[in-house]
C-alpha cells in the first residue's frame, strides 16, 4: 500500500482525472470535512490512469482516509476513467518548515495596540506553575459520536503518548461543540498518569494579556521560562490572536521552543488553520503542520446520549423518549442542550414531578414557542445549513461550489414551499439574489425530488423538522 510517492510526471490527462474526482467529492462531502481531509491530498496518476497514488501527511490521516474515503474515491476514479483503477496511499515526504528567525521589531507600539486586556495595577503573577485545568472536564464524561470521534481519538492519542505523533494537534469547530472540554481532558489525562508533568491550559486572550504584562513589567525572561519549560501547552481559541502581531511573534517563539524539545502543543480554533484571518502565514503553516481535526455539530443520537449522560451525572433519570424530544428540538450545539437540560431539571425538582415529555414541553415552553411560532426563512436557512453541515453565512454568500450551492437551492425551495414569501422577497433574503435564481432553484429541486429518492427523503426530514 505504501510504496512511496512516485515522481511528478505532469500530464494534462492525469491532472484532469484527479481534478474531476475532487469536484465530485466536493459535492458529496460536507465542506468542513472536504477541507480537512480531501483538499490537502496530492495525487499522482500513473500507468495511464489505472493507478492513482495519493500522498497523505501522516499515518493517522492515512488510516482515516483509507477507512472513510478510499472506497468512494476509487469508485469515482473508476467511473471517470472508465476502467478499473488501483488506489494507493503513500506517506508524503515530510517538509521541514524553514526555521525563520522572527525579525526584531519595535515592541512598544505593538504592545500598546494589544494593551486593552490588561489591568496594569495587578500584582505580578506568582511564578508557581498552575495548570489552570478544570478537573471536571475529562474523556470519561465527553460523549463520543461520529461528530467528534476523530478529534477525540486524536486527543486521546496525544494524551497517552506525548510529544510523539500529531504535534501540534489543531482542533476546530463551531461554538459549544466541546473543543474546550476536549483540551482539558487531554491535560487531565496526562496529569493522572504523570502528576509532575508541566501542563498549562490557557485561553488565547489570556496569552495576549500575559505577553503585554510581561513587557510592561519587564519580566520577559520569566514569561519565557514559564512557557518554554512546559511539557504540554493547551491553547484555546487561537482565532483571538488575529491582529495581535507581538503576541503572534511570542507565540511563534514559544511554539518553536516547545516543538524543539518535543513538548506537545494542542490548539483550538473556530475555523481550520487556513481559514484564520489576520494571523501571520508562518504561524498558520505551523498550526497545520501536525494533525488538524474538526468537531462537527452532534447528530441526533449523540445529542440524545449527551442528555441522558448529563442527566445521570445530576442524579436525575431522563427517559429516552424525553431525551429524543429535547434533542429533536435543540439542535445547534451542546451548550444549548445543557441549558435545556438545566431548565428541565429545575422544573422537575421545583414541581416535584418526574421528567416526561409533557414536563419537558412545559419547561422549554419559551424556547419551543420561539421555534414554532412560524416558519421563517432564517430558520429554514439555519436548519438546512445544519443539516448539510455548511455555514449559515453560506446561504447568503456568493460562493458557488456545489457543496454550498445545492443546500442553498434546497433552502430556497423550502422557503417557497413553507412560507408566504414571494420569489423576490426570498431572493432578497438569500444575499440579494434575483427572483429568477430562486425560481430556477424551486423548479430544479421540485423536479429532482420526483426522481431522486434520497433527496426526497432528505426534504421530508427537513420539512418535518421545520414544521416541528
**Can you give the binding site for ligand ADP, defined by CB under 6 A?**
137, 141-143, 148, 173, 175-181, 306, 334-335, 338
Between 179 and 189, name the residue whose CB sits nearer to ligand ADP: 179
Q: How far is the CB of 175 from ligand ADP (least distance, A)?
A: 5
Q: Quick one: what does residue 142 bind among ligand ADP, Mg ion, none, with the CB cut-off 5 to 8 Å set by partner type?
A: ligand ADP
C-alpha cell belonging to residue 295: 468537531
Between 207 and 430, name the residue whose CB sits nearer to ligand ADP: 207
DSSP alpha helices (H): ranges in 261-363? 281-287, 300-313, 320-329, 334-351, 357-363
Q: How far is the CB of 267 from ligand ADP (least distance, A)?
A: 12
Q: Quick one: what does residue 208 bind among ligand ADP, Mg ion, none, with the CB cut-off 5 to 8 Å set by partner type?
A: none
H or E element in which residue 91 lies: strand 86-91
Q: Quick one: what does residue 177 bind among Mg ion, ligand ADP, none, with the CB cut-off 5 to 8 Å set by partner type?
A: ligand ADP
Q: How far is the CB of 201 from Mg ion (least distance, A)?
A: 11
Q: How far is the CB of 435 from ligand ADP (least distance, A)?
A: 39
**Residue that has been written with the C-alpha cell 506525548 in this structure:** 162
Between 59 and 335, name the residue whose CB sits nearer to ligand ADP: 335
Cβ(308)–Cβ(323) below 8 Å: yes
In degrees and rounded to multiples of 5, residue 21 shows phi and psi of: -60, -45
Between 148 and 381, name the residue whose CB sits nearer to ligand ADP: 148
Q: How far is the CB of 208 from Mg ion (least distance, A)?
A: 16
Q: Quick one: what does residue 408 bind among Mg ion, ligand ADP, none, with the CB cut-off 5 to 8 Å set by partner type?
A: none
Please state, in angstroms and as integers, the Cα–Cα distance from residue 349 to each residue in 108, 173, 353, 411, following that order.
Answer: 56, 34, 7, 41
Between 125 and 134, name the residue whose CB sits nearer to Mg ion: 134
Q: What is the DSSP letter of 419?
A: S
First to last CA, the chain: 49
What distance in Å separates the CA atoms of residue 182 and residue 201, rounded to the nearest whole number? 11
Between 178 and 407, name the residue whose CB sits nearer to ligand ADP: 178
**Residue that has been written with the C-alpha cell 485545568 in this structure:** 133
Q: Quick one: what does residue 335 bind among Mg ion, ligand ADP, none, with the CB cut-off 5 to 8 Å set by partner type?
A: ligand ADP
Please state, in angstroms and as integers, the Cα–Cα distance from residue 275 to each residue in 66, 182, 199, 270, following that order.
Answer: 26, 21, 28, 9
Which residues bind to Mg ion, rule: CB under 5 A? 179-180
Amino acid at each position: 500500500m505504501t510504496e512511496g510517492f512516485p515522481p511528478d510526471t505532469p500530464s494534462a490527462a492525469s491532472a484532469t482525472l484527479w481534478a474531476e474526482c475532487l469536484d465530485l467529492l466536493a459535492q458529496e462531502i460536507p465542506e468542513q470535512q472536504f477541507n480537512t481531509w480531501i483538499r490537502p491530498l496530492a495525487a499522482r496518476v500513473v500507468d495511464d490512469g489505472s493507478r492513482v497514488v495519493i500522498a497523505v501527511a501522516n499515518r493517522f490521516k492515512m488510516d482515516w482516509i483509507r477507512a472513510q474515503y478510499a472506497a468512494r474515491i476509487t469508485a469515482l476514479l473508476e467511473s471517470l476513467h472508465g476502467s478499473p483503477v488501483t488506489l494507493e496511499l503513500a506517506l508524503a515526504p515530510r517538509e521541514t518548515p524553514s526555521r525563520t528567525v522572527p525579525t526584531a521589531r519595535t515592541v512598544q507600539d505593538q504592545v500598546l495596540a494589544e494593551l486593552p486586556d490588561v489591568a496594569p495595577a495587578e500584582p505580578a503573577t506568582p511564578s508557581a506553575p498552575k495548570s489552570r485545568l478544570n478537573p471536571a472536564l475529562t474523556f470519561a464524561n465527553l460523549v463520543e459520536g461520529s461528530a467528534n470521534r476523530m478529534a477525540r481519538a486524536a486527543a486521546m492519542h496525544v494524551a497517552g503518548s506525548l510529544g510523539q505523533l500529531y504535534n501540534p494537534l489543531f482542533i476546530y469547530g463551531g461554538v459549544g461543540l466541546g473543543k474546550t472540554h476536549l483540551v482539558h481532558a487531554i491535560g487531565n489525562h496526562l496529569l493522572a498518569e504523570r502528576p509532575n508533568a508541566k501542563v498549562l491550559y490557557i485561553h488565547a486572550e489570556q496569552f495576549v494579556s500575559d505577553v503585554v504584562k510581561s513587557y510592561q513589567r519587564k519580566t520577559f525572561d520569566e514569561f519565557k521560562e514559564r512557557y518554554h519549560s512546559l511539557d504540554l501547552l493547551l491553547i484555546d481559541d487561537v482565532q483571538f490572536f488575529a491582529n495581535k502581531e507581538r503576541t503572534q511573534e511570542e507565540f511563534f517563539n514559544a511554539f518553536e521552543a516547545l516543538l524543539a524539545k518535543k513538548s506537545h502543543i494542542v490548539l483550538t480554533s473556530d475555523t481550520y488553520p487556513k481559514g484564520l484571518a489576520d494571523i501571520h502565514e508562518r504561524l498558520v503553516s505551523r498550526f497545520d503542520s501536525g494533525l488538524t481535526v474538526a468537531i462537527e455539530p452532534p447528530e441526533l443520537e449523540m445529542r440524545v446520549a449527551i442528555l441522558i449522560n448529563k442527566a445521570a451525572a445530576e442524579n436525575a433519570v431522563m427517559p429516552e423518549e424525553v431525551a429524543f424530544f429535547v434533542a429533536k428540538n435543540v439542535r445547534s450545539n451542546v451548550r444549548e442542550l445543557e441549558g435545556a437540560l438545566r431548565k428541565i431539571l429545575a422544573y422537575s425538582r421545583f414541581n416535584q414531578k418526574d421528567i416526561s415529555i409533557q414536563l419537558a414541553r412545559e419547561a422549554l415552553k419559551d424556547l419551543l414557542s420561539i421555534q414554532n411560532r412560524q416558519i421563517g426563512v432564517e430558520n429554514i436557512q439555519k436548519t438546512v445549513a445544519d443539516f448539510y453541515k455548511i455555514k449559515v453565512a453560506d446561504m447568503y454568500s456568493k460562493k458557488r461550489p456545489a457543496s454550498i450551492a445545492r443546500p442553498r437551492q434546497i433552502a430556497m425551495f423550502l422557503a417557497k414551499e413553507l412560507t408566504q414569501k414571494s420569489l423576490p422577497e426570498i431572493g432578497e433574503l438569500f444575499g440579494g439574489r434575483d427572483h429568477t435564481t430562486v425560481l430556477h432553484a424551486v423548479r430544479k429541486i421540485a423536479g429532482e425530488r420526483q426522481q431522486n429518492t434520497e433527496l426526497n427523503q432528505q426534504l421530508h426530514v427537513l420539512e418535518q423538522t421545520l414544521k416541528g
